[in-house]
Amino acid sequence: METICYNEIETTEEENFQWYLKLAEAGNHIEQNNLGNCYRNGIGTTKDEEKAFLWYLKSAEGEDHEGQYNLGNCYRNGIGTTKDEEKAFLWYLKSAEGGNHGGQNSLGECYCYGIGVREDGEKAFQWYLKSAEGGNNSGQVNLGYCNQYGIGTTKDKEKAFQWYLKSAEGGNHEGQNILGYCYQNGIGTTEDEEKAFQWYLKSAEAGSHMMQYSLGCCYKYGIGTIKDEEKAFLCYLKSAEGGNHEGQNILGYCYQHGIGTMKDEEKAFQWYLKSAEGGNHGGQNSLGECYCYGIGVREDGEKAFQWYLKSAEGGNNSGQVNLGYCNQYGIGTTKDKEKAFQWYLKSAKGGNHEGQNILGYCYQNGIGTTEDEEKAFQWYLKSAEAGSYMMQYSLGCCYKYGIGTIKDEEKAFLCYLKSAEAGNHEGQNILGYYYKDGIGTTKDEEKAFQWYLKSAEGGNNTGQNSLGDCYYYGTGVREDKEKAFQWYLKSAEGGNLLGQNNLGYCYQNGIGTTKDEEKAFQWYLKSAEEGDRFGKINLSYYYRNEIGILKMKKHQNKLKCRCHNCKELNLQNNACLNCKLIKMPKWTSGNNEIDKIIQMTQSDDDAKEWEIWRWINYSKFKDIEYLAEGGFGSIWKAEWIDMPEELFEFYKSNQVALKKLKNSQEISSEFLKELKANFQCRDRYVLPILGITQDPKTKEYVMVLRYMKNGNLRDFLKQNKSLPWIERLWLLNTFIRGLEVIHSKGLIHRDLHPGNLMITEAYNNSKYKFIRLGDLGLCRLANEISSSGAYGILPYIAPEVLNKYQYTQASDIYSVGIIMWIISTGKIPFAIRAYDSELAVDIFNGLRPKINRDTPQCYVELMKKCWHEDPTKRPNAKIIFDTSEKWIKELMYEELMYNKKTEHSLILGDLGLCRLANEISSSGAYGILPYIAPEVLNKYQYTQASDIYSVGIIMWIISTGKIPFAIRAYDSELAVDIFNGLRPKINRDTPQCYVELMKKCWHEDPTKRPNAKIIFDTSEKWIKELMYEELMYNKKTEHSLMFLKANEKMQYEDFESSSAETTHSEAYLTSHLLPSLLPSSILKFDINQMDFKFNDN
């Protein structure tokens, strides 16, 4: 029981209550008010708000101003009676006018917030002033608020601070809390975080949940005290349990992220829910995020959308951003990019920096609004000014690519630097790129490495790929291929396309890891499927060479049986893995040597399906059809009735070729040599033997080969006379790959010609064909002496073989040279001559096929090396393969990167009129009229700037495909018009940047024309923007967009140039000496009075 002092006599609350009751009933209005307080707060009696109201009413009606104030509170808040703000206002008015300072403060609040009366800031201020001057602490807080925000008076933050200070010193906890805020943020006073903390602490000690929240923020962020997340958590907990909805929201955040407590997403959800249901718009946004991402609750897009909507409509900027996101991507609602844009706009205007950044992105890419790069830049700038690292990154991109502003690499660098230093991992990666290449700053590879490292360790998969590059090439760090591999692996697993491509390359070549072509194929495939062009290039190589496409080990999809010899369960393909070459009773060819070779292929555990040979009963073939006769036997076509399923899956056909060997009823050493050569050279580039059989009628042994439906190279070139060079190179490349296999085994083919080069299709890509090298009947070891003379087709036989009959691997390379010629021309060598001794002598003496003048020079040079008369000067197969591989990659790279099948270039010729720039010409003007500069038409004085004028006209021709002034005679009248400023009419769809450069080139003042280097640099920049920038960064620049739009119009519009153009009979297209000009009097001005200034640069 609590004792209190009443009129200097110690009494209990119950005793006081009894005194109040007696006096109140006796009509004492002051004690009636006190009795109301007892009933309202349960002091000395049971709490009873209705009785409290009745006693306040009696007190108020008795003109007690404190009673009137308390009665106003009852009506305002519905305590013991029905809520009635107008009655509340009236009782506050009576109380205030009677001098009650509490009533004056409440009356000020009525005028300030329109409670029971129309809002009136000035009246609010006046009543707050009376209350504050009367010493009411709450009135002092409110008066400070009016001074701070200019409500009913002029803004004056210093006065506001002074009133907050009076309130705080008077013990008002709200005033103490606000005073802490003033010290924290320097409002009306000098910023002082320690004082801020002390006032927050005083405020919180009173137990107010709002003040606990402020104190929690001090501990969380280290404001005026040591950062202590556990104390922050406890403060937030008190605040939240006290019903503060903002405290509940931030307590949820603490539980979600494990700040000052154990991470607990379910508790986080529960506190967010309390905050949201209590009307806190931040809590509503947080709850929406829980439903959106499944934080502490099951994902529910519709509920997420509903809570975001409440938050957004309540004015929460983050909620507006999230609601925009839902509308943009259709989360819990229908996709609506226009609505998304509107919510982003509200958020941005409300000062949300993320919203400003996203709004910039919308303007940049035309999402829900018209594309406007200038507005995009402005919003990125606003967002970045807040200092957010993400926003600095976006602004950097604007400066880098000139989006809505002038391109400025130095400003871009500074923005990326701010972004990187603040922890943005994408910014760290691009900052590394800037340091590596010295863009916008001094080149520094070590700094580049450090920033790539930060980006990579932060989980950015692009940064991980860049770091892999550093270790691979030794950029800013010591070269380390194993670390390069590890970072490429992380990047690839994170979904980075370049990382996937680089990882494939490491697996392909065994760089930093064990070589694994199947893994390489899989990574190239992932990269290519997502659109990476480098991945497509490398994947095409794998498709072309059938590498890594199918795991076709011999033991796959096979049933193991028990070996009759060792009794183990490991019999496959009728060959025991333990007994190896033991002859199995299930089959026999009838020849011990053949059985051994077949069993060797079957017992090779690593053999591919097409490397396994079988003994096949001749009865398994049907529809046997004669095809051709060869030097050593005949070729037949047939169908293999029960071809193994896995083999059929690989070849997609059961058609086979049967090579019946003449006089092979008895196995000769020559036949066995061919079998052994085929066995040694089993490879995808060599025509595979599928098995061996025997014709029961003739007793001839037969090789079963894959049937090549596309025929041989000779047949193929007859049917395809205009192959692109990329396809011709593929033919050469795959043929050489097969020859390289043969040479690597120490063998010589000795019979290379188009009839032995069989055409097949690359896996899953019928557009490209490649060659399998066949007919190894003459294959011999390189050190084996031949005594049987030269054998083959004359033009393909090397000169030294024609002389001494001695074959070497270099002899095969001579044949390669002739086959290269056939691939380039599609013709038969020396087709109009007899293949006799006279031709043989001519070949020996240096005769070679005539090279087509359109053959690429690099190809010609390699071909000539191959058929060089000195065998020692011929390249080996590997060099030819590597060279052709390089050409193919370059061609495919150009085609895939730049979407071009071929690339044309111009070679400047006819230097007959070339002169030194300072040499005076007196021979008159010479050339084709439209290309001659005006100053040359006047004084015949050529300068380098005169050439630039011609460049301008040629630029016009390149852009239009037309002849300049084609419908006019090239005469003195046209010359005068050109001198007076006539230029060809520019096509309206020509890119503006191109137009501007062209006009500069044909400017009438030679000093204003650019030099050749400027034109080259500008065109080089355009090409880079069109090709490289789009490829690497998926970004179209202002210039590249101009050219791309022009391309679209060329495809979809009918140009004037598409129709036939009439050319005047005197519009000559070859150079002439120009006729004398007409008298200068007919010109607009006197040519001879013109003072030309010449620029020799």
CATH number of the structural domain spanning residue 958: 1.10.510.10
* 367 pLDDT above the threshold of 60: yes
Amino acid in position 1064: H
Could you tell me if 702 and 724 lie in one domain? no
Could you tell me if 931 and 800 lie in one domain? no
Could you tell me if 571 and 505 lie in one domain? no
3-state secondary structure of 757: strand
Higher pLDDT, 879 or 731: 879
Q: Which residues contact 333 (CB under 8 A, 6 or more apart)?
A: 302, 305, 326, 327
Higher pLDDT, 42 or 546: 42
> Residue 770: what pLDDT?
59
**Which two tokens mark 12?**
């209990």
> Residue 384: what pLDDT?
85
16/11 Cα distance (integer angstroms):
7
SS3 content of the chain, % helix, strand, coil (to 5): 55, 5, 35
Could you tell me if 701 and 721 lie in one domain? no
Number of H helices and E strands in the chain, helices first, is: 47, 17
Final residue belonging to a domain, choices 689, 706, 723: 706
Domain, as residue range, for 668: 561-706
CATH number of the structural domain spanning residue 441: 1.25.40.10
Tell me, yes or no, whether 568 lies in a domain.
Answer: yes
Report whether 1078 contacts 978 (CB < 8 A): no
How distant, in Å, are the alpha carbons of 262, 499, 559, 647, 682 from that of 556?
Answer: 52, 32, 9, 12, 19
Please identify which residue in the block is written with the tokens 């002029």.
154
| Backbone CA torsion sign across 44, 50, 52, 54 | negative
Please identify which residue in the block is written with the tokens 């046997």.
624
pLDDT class of 902 with cuts at 50, 70, 90: very low
490/500 Cα distance (integer angstroms):
9
Q: What is the 3-state secondary structure (H, E, C) of 891-912?
A: HHHHHHHHCCCCCCCCCCCCCC
**Which two tokens mark 1090?**
């013109």
34/67 Cα distance (integer angstroms):
8
pLDDT class of 71 with cuts at 50, 70, 90: very high
776/1010 Cα distance (integer angstroms):
64
> Residue 195: what pLDDT?
94
Could you tell me if 571 and 668 lie in one domain? yes
> Residue 970: what pLDDT?
82
Q: Please, is 520 exposed, middle or buried when counting C-beta atoms within 10 Å of its C-beta (0-12, 13-18, 19+)?
A: buried
Higher pLDDT, 488 or 791: 488
The pLDDT tens digits for 176-193 are: 999 999 999 999 999 999
How distant, in Å, are the alpha carbons of 105, 121, 984 from that of 1001?
Answer: 80, 70, 13
Could you tell me if 527 and 585 lie in one domain? no
Chain centroid offset of residue 456 CA = 16
Could you tell me if 575 and 431 lie in one domain? no
> Residue 1081: what pLDDT?
39
Could you tell me if 817 and 931 lie in one domain? no
| Backbone CA torsion sign across 223, 224, 226, 230 | negative
63-66 long-range contacts (CB < 8 A, ≥24 apart) are 63/29, 63/98, 64/29, 64/30, 64/32, 64/33, 65/94, 65/95, 65/98, 65/99, 65/100, 65/103, 66/30, 66/33, 66/95, 66/100, 66/102
Give, for 363, the enclosing helix (H) or strand (E): helix 353-365
Tell me, yes or no, whether 17 lies in a domain.
Answer: no
* 279 pLDDT above the threshold of 70: yes
> Residue 903: what pLDDT?
40
Tell me, yes or no, whether 639 lies in a domain.
Answer: yes
The pLDDT tens digits for 816-867 are: 999 999 988 889 999 898 988 898 899 889 999 999 888 889 999 999 999 9
> Residue 766: what pLDDT?
45
845/837 Cα distance (integer angstroms):
12
CATH number of the structural domain spanning residue 606: 3.30.200.20
* 232 pLDDT above the threshold of 50: yes
Report whether 811 contacts 801 (CB < 8 A): yes
544/760 Cα distance (integer angstroms):
10
Please identify which residue in the block is written with the tokens 């002074």.
162
Helix 533-545 to helix 497-509 angle (10° resolution) is: 30
Could you tell me if 965 and 1068 lie in one domain? yes
Sheet order of strands, 561-562 included: 561-562, 569-572, 575-576
> Residue 733: what pLDDT?
83
Higher pLDDT, 837 or 756: 837
Final residue belonging to a domain, choices 651, 682, 706: 706
Q: Which residues contact 655 (CB under 8 A, 6 or more apart)?
A: 637, 638, 639, 640, 707, 709
- DSSP letters of 1043-1060? HHHHHHHHHHS--GGGS-
Could you tell me if 620 and 756 lie in one domain? no
Tell me, yes or no, whether 150 lies in a domain.
Answer: no
Between 135-144, 309-318, 808-817, the lowest mean confidence (pLDDT) is in 808-817
Alpha helices in 510-587 (DSSP H): 517-529, 533-545
* 899 pLDDT above the threshold of 50: no
CB neighbours of residue 530 within 10 Å: 12
Which pTM value belongs to this model? 0.53
375/910 Cα distance (integer angstroms):
52
| Backbone CA torsion sign across 833, 838, 844, 845 | negative
* 609 pLDDT above the threshold of 90: no
Q: Are strands 614-615 and 689-694 parallel, antiparallel or unpaired?
A: parallel
- The strand pairing partners of 635, in sequence order, are 628, 659
- Looking at the structure of the chain, the number of domains it has is 4
Tell me, yes or no, whether 8 lies in a domain.
Answer: no
Final residue belonging to a domain, choices 706, 724, 759: 706
The pLDDT tens digits for 643-684 are: 887 777 777 788 888 888 776 656 666 667 667 667 677 677
> Residue 606: what pLDDT?
62
> Residue 426: what pLDDT?
93
> Residue 715: what pLDDT?
83
The pLDDT tens digits for 1029-1080 are: 444 444 455 555 555 555 555 444 444 444 445 666 765 555 555 555 444 4
Largest CA distance in the chain: 151
505-508 long-range contacts (CB < 8 A, ≥24 apart) are 505/538, 506/481, 508/538
Percent of the chain with pLDDT over 70: 78
> Residue 670: what pLDDT?
64
Higher pLDDT, 144 or 894: 144
> Residue 765: what pLDDT?
46
**Which two tokens mark 623?**
């529809």
**Which two tokens mark 887?**
């050409």
CB neighbours of residue 754 within 10 Å: 23
Could you tell me if 482 and 582 lie in one domain? no
Q: How many CA atoms lie within 13 A of 903 on its CB side?
A: 11
Could you tell me if 931 and 1070 lie in one domain? yes
Report whether 293 contacts 259 (CB < 8 A): no
> Residue 789: what pLDDT?
53
> Residue 741: what pLDDT?
78
pLDDT class of 308 with cuts at 50, 70, 90: very high
The pLDDT tens digits for 88-139 are: 999 999 999 999 999 999 999 999 999 999 999 999 999 999 999 999 999 9
Higher pLDDT, 879 or 733: 879
Tell me, yes or no, whether 574 lies in a domain.
Answer: yes
> Residue 303: what pLDDT?
96
Report whether 1014 contacts 945 (CB < 8 A): no
How large is the average pLDDT for residues 309-317?
95
* 764 pLDDT above the threshold of 60: no
Helix 209-221 to helix 245-257 angle (10° resolution) is: 40
Tell me, yes or no, whether 847 lies in a domain.
Answer: yes
Please identify which residue in the block is written with the tokens 């009839």.
755
Spatial CA neighbour of 108 closest among 163, 31, 53: 163
> Residue 544: what pLDDT?
56
* 162 pLDDT above the threshold of 90: yes
The pLDDT tens digits for 566-604 are: 555 454 545 555 554 444 445 677 777 777 777 777 766
How large is the average pLDDT for residues 984-998?
88
How large is the average pLDDT for residues 905-913?
53
* 424 pLDDT above the threshold of 60: yes
| Backbone CA torsion sign across 633, 639, 642, 646 | positive
Tell me, yes or no, whether 939 lies in a domain.
Answer: yes
Please provide the average confidence, as pLDDT, over all residues in the chain: 82
Length of the chain: 1097
